[in-house]
């Protein structure tokens, strides 16, 4: 029973529904889960605080990543993590526009340097506990 938490800027509810559906599909494929697991996969959306011009209040990881995806599941192998990490960033980049163009940026011809950056954290859940209790965790930057 995987748990996913997506930390991002505010997103409209319609977009969250599409993202949740796609993340569930990716989770089922990557972790080789049965169709019944679709309804046992939880996805939580958490809005990241947006702090401008004030250093020290926001960790650097939040400034560098557009999304943080936390994946908590049982039996995470390297192959499963790799398969998930290959699909999820591409899907999010496709569904969520990079960064909005401001009028000033357009006037001066400024283009954003990089597409959406995503940090993926994998956490191994304890097999003895059904609640999300982390035993092991690992980070990947996509």
Query: Residue 39 has what pLDDT?
Result: 87
For the chain, 142 residues long, give each residue's pLDDT as a single digit of tens: 789 999 988 889 999 999 999 999 999 999 998 888 888 899 999 987 754 444 444 444 455 667 889 999 888 899 999 999 999 988 888 877 655 544 554 555 544 444 557 788 898 877 665 555 555 555 555 5
Q: Tell me the domains of the chain and their CATH numbers.
A: 3-141 (3.30.429.10)
Nearest to 71 by CA among 117, 17, 121: 121
E-assigned strand segments in 9-113:
42-47, 67-73
E strands within 42-133? 42-47, 67-73, 118-125
Contact in structure between 42 and 131 (CB atoms under 8 Å): no
Q: Which positions ≥6 away from 85 have C-beta within 8 Å?
A: 120, 140, 142
d(CA 28, CA 24): 6
pLDDT at 17: 94
Asked whether 5 and 47 are in contact (CB, 8 A), the reply is no
């Amino acid at each position: 029973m995987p748990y996913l938490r997506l930390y991002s800027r505010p997103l409209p509810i319609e977009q969250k529904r599409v993202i949740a559906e796609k993340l569930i599909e990716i989770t089922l494929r990557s972790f080789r889960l049965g169709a019944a697991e679709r309804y046992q996969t939880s996805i939580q959306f958490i809005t990241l605080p947006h702090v401008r011009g004030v250093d020290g209040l926001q960790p650097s990881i939040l400034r560098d990543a557009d999304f943080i995806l936390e994946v908590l599941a049982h039996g995470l192998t390297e192959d499963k993590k790799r398969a998930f990490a290959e699909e999820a960033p591409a899907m999010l980049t496709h569904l969520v526009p990079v960064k909005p163009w401001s009028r000033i940026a357009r006037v001066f011809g400024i283009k954003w340097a990089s597409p959406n950056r995503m940090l993926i954290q994998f956490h191994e859940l304890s097999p003895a506990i059904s609640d999300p209790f982390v035993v092991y965790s690992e980070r990947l930057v996509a």
